[in-house]
Amino acid sequence: MINEDTDWQLQAKRVAQGIRCRVLDLTIERNGCYLSQALSSAEIFATLYTKVLNLEASEGPAIPPLFPGVPGANSIEYVTGAAYNGPQS
């Protein structure tokens, strides 16, 4: 029996599995990468983005611009990724 209390948990479980699959795809595609951190945090990110954060749709473009670099005195073009999370609902 699925109810409101367990529905979000099932959704988070599916999202976490999707994260793991995507990380594995990237690992294979790039002939290896650091896999452990992404796999161990899948449930945390899935829970945050399906239940806890309550964010609206992303306001950022589907394909982001090239990474301009980290913030610093010599990096005046730095932008945050805030638009990709969308406003809090």
pLDDT, tens digit, for every residue of 38-83? 888 999 999 998 999 877 888 888 888 887 777 777 777 777 777 7
Check whether 15 has a pLDDT greater than 90. yes
Report in angstroms the alpha-carbon separations of 10 from 50, 60, 86: 10, 27, 23
What is the phi/psi pair of residue 77, to 5°?
Answer: -95, 5
Count CB-CB contacts under 10 A for residue 46.
21
Identity of the amino acid at 11: Q
Q: What is the mean pLDDT of residues 22-41?
A: 88
Record the pTM.
Answer: 0.64
Per DSSP, what are the bridge partners of residue 50? none
pLDDT for 89 equals: 63
Q: CA Rg, the chain, in Å?
A: 16
